[in-house]
Amino acid sequence: MVVAWNRRDLLARALDGLAAQTRRPDAVVVIDNASTDDSATLASEHLVVSEVVGLPTNTGGAGGFAAGIAVAMCRHAADLVWIMDDDTVPEPGALAALLDARERYAGEVVVAASRADWHDGREHPMNTPRERFGLSAAERAAADAVDARAVRSASFVSILIAGDAVHAHGLPQAAYFLWNDDFEYTARLLRHGVGLYVPASRVRHLTKVFGSSDADPGPRFRNEVRNKVWLFTRSDALGVRDRALYLGSTLRRWGRMLAHSSDRGALLRHGWSGLREGLGSQPTTMAVLANTPVADDVASVERGAGRG
């Protein structure tokens, strides 16, 4: 499943990458987030694509992934959902490697994540999964046995999600729009489940800039602060220990971001706006996607997971 918005050339490369998989997906859904270029047309004409769903407005990555996972579950009866953004180009063996790790692992795997490289082959720091804290020797050995690493969360750049976990935990928080939606969702799925980082599964994440989330995001810092407030106060993704650990790391990262910002005043204003929004109400995913072609699919998944 691919979420697309106004990057038709990158989308074409992503879809070509899916078509070149040694183990092709059974179906490919593209969610077009109200693109103003010809992304939707390109997707509908690509031979690898099974279905294109156009949303009437741009719902951000969070809304797009929630919509796409719901469509995959309800319209295609997916037992596994492989998701990525339109600037992600999978190498031919990416899906096969994720499936192989799942099959060889001695237990149930909820999320399997690819290694994401930048244009020049360096591992992209934006997408490095967070290793699970406090692993036992047995848990570490089980991951090592399949050449993987046990993780607590992952990005949406390329992950394979178990359908049973979607049925149990619902969809990403569409209200996040962008920033932290992947962390909240994968942390929610993996609070009591196994996540594996599988370096043998390789994709290229073709962002314009090679950098981590420490970089000054400008106006998007509003989303970062708002969504982190929602995450720490309203999500069940983190237990008490994890909440304390991630809150501390978040405050340290914000401090580094502020110290390196070229316009600290603007960054503080964006953060204050996000804080005020975060203390307000958070719309449900069903509400955000209510007047869209995926409304019924979203409602079915969310209500089935007890989130309606």
The average pLDDT across 73-93 equals 97
pLDDT digits (tens, 9 = 90+) for 94-139: 999 999 999 999 999 999 999 999 988 888 887 778 888 888 999 9
234, pLDDT greater than 90: yes
Give the pTM: 0.95
The average pLDDT across 137-150 equals 96
pLDDT digits (tens, 9 = 90+) for 260-269: 888 999 999 9
In three state form, how does the secondary structure of 8-74 look?
HHHHHHHHHHHHCCCCCCCCCEEEECCCCCCHHHHHHHCCCCCEEEECCCCCHHHHHHHHHHHHHHH
What is the pLDDT at residue 217?
Answer: 84
